Structure 1
Amino acid sequence: MALAVVRLLFPAGTCAIRAGSVVQKAAVHSSAARSLRYGWWAYALGERTSPRLNRYSKIICVDGNLASGKGALAQQLADKLGMLYMAEADTFYVDKMTGEKQPLPLSFNGMCSLEKFYTDPKAADGNSYRLQLWMYAMRVLQYSDAVEHLLTTGQGVVLERSPFSDGVFLDAMFKQGYIRKECVEHYNEIKNISICEFLPPHLVIYVDQPAQEVQKKLKQSGKSYLQNVPLQYLQSIEDSYKKSFLPKIRETSELLAYDGSQAQDVERVAEDIEYLKFEKGPWLEQDDVSYHHMRMLVEDKQRVSMLMSIPKFLPEITIGAHDFDEKYYAYRSLPGKKYARGYNEDVGDKYIWLK
């Protein structure tokens, strides 16, 4: 399957790159080739998570329709509260995690295109569902980065959307006839076996921008492929948020909702957060033992990516053994990919025989 290609991209010891920060992790130095990482020995020797957590050690997800203003709110809110801002994951998020200087070809990034989706959402090659499933995977990987950062440093994280809200796009795609019913069933199966491994965000902030206003903003954007996004698709996203996602997420997370103009008042949003008591949700039940197991999961990106891979045939995402083999060797032939990082002469690595 297309997601299986993810496994090619995570050599042992891979760590996510975080905007503007380098996180130091308590661990035991196991070899010269690996960075210090948190592990069983670190926990046995006394490393604990709870002492570094404070009132703002929270994961906040800002949700909303396309061009609703959620990105600006998320970034300003993170600056205001002293939290880490993580921009919305895109189809090239894996490249950011592995530190690529230039994005790798689409064949190593889900074999899907966001631009193609907006220009030809009913493409016969199954691009729409590959994109949806790949974006869910990217959001899961980003969410694991957010949890890892929170538990490792104690600093809270503000995200744009999350894997918990990703289903609104699936609903909209299906309602508009962009994907088949079998794709919806496959997506739900993948989500059911993966999302349960993560705790929901502490707080969800929803920016309510009417679909008509969203369409106007998209037409004014500089991206040509966003000029003709159907109003029905945007309305379906809005409906799915209000009828499906928001009622469900408020059972486990705090929820704040603002219209487009209110969301521009960051001071007001920050003040509203101050008044929240955060008295519900599974985060209240956690202790250092569960934090330990959580950290072990989220730092292992191969393990996280495997949560979203099941052996099931679906034409939109399935590739043959020969095609997969071809992609594997094509990836290994890229500069610096033949051996583990630091052991490739073709990219200037030196003193390899001493490592």
Structure 2
Amino acid sequence: MSTVPAGPVVTRTCPGCGAEVEPSQAFCESCGSPLLDVGGAAAATLTAVAQEAPVELTQPVVAAPEADPDALVPAARCLSCGGEVGDDGYCTVCGTKAPTPRDHYVEQPAAWVAAVCDRGVRHHRNEDATAIAAEPDPGSRAVLVVCDGVSTAPDSDVAALAAARRARDVLVAARPVGLPNPASRAGLIADALEDAVARADQAVLATTPVEGPSAAACTFAAAVVEGDLVVFGNVGDSRVYWLPDPGGSGPGSEPEELSLDDSMAQARIAMGVDRETAENGPQAHAITKWLGRDSPDVVPRTGSVILGHPGWVLVCSDGLWNYCSDAVRLGELVGSLSADVTSPLELAEALVRWANEQGGRDNVSVALARH
């Protein structure tokens, strides 16, 4: 969960579990109980967004089997035991009811990329969103987008989904042609990322109410993979990592956090505070930039890297990196989990499951591309 900084903090307690919460929070961080009467606006708007026709693209690259590539696809396997989920929505092995598609959905437009978005254990609803696209040939071109709705604002689940889809569509269409120089391509894709964020911000404004206790908001992180080139950008504290397979040497052979958070924690790190202290201190998850009506700045930080080794490009929300922030540790985790799985989708599911096993205090989004 990310939070937008506010004025002086006046504490209160959750009526469900008694945990201390901030006045602006819509849901309790500990038990997920609703704290504000947000009505049915979020559900109504989400339905409208989910049914919106895909934007027509001049160069579509999505390889999706469904007629509607934006249909939220629920998990085919039970999250409790791995059994098959029946047509009635219950596991045919253990009888557990499967979550709704918005609480847990998957995306896999090509065999070498995948995304999983999950409500987590503690939250009342899933305010994360993913939107990905890919060409079918492994390592060719992919777009990975993750947005994390700010839990202190109603309708942030709607904001995140609208922003992620709009940004993906812009990045899919903005494909440099006839530029063999990686630096030139990286520059044009970085410009496209800025445009994608601006369009995503417009999508947030168009799909969420003007009035309310606080404006809907979300973070943004994205990676565009073109062969060995990865161009990335972010607003807020969702992240992009490069996690190479172990055993390599030279540039690009070490795990790396590519993006740089817009957060109070990152500001403290810049002042010399060690990462663990900064990321666990007061207001650590207060973000300094976000998408939404009251955002001070929606220009993303961007960058690029050339990958010279096999590995994973990972875009994720803080629901994952909360439990494994350091790139080296995260690379070790991915290495241990990938030993037991055979596809990006299985690895994404394993990472989400791992985060929930650590406590699942937040929504969890994982988008992966295999290089």
Provide TM-score, normalisation by structure 1.
0.29
Which structure has more relative contact order (CA 8 Å, sep 6+)? It is 1
Q: Which structure shows the higher helix fraction?
A: 1
Provide TM-score, normalisation by structure 2.
0.28
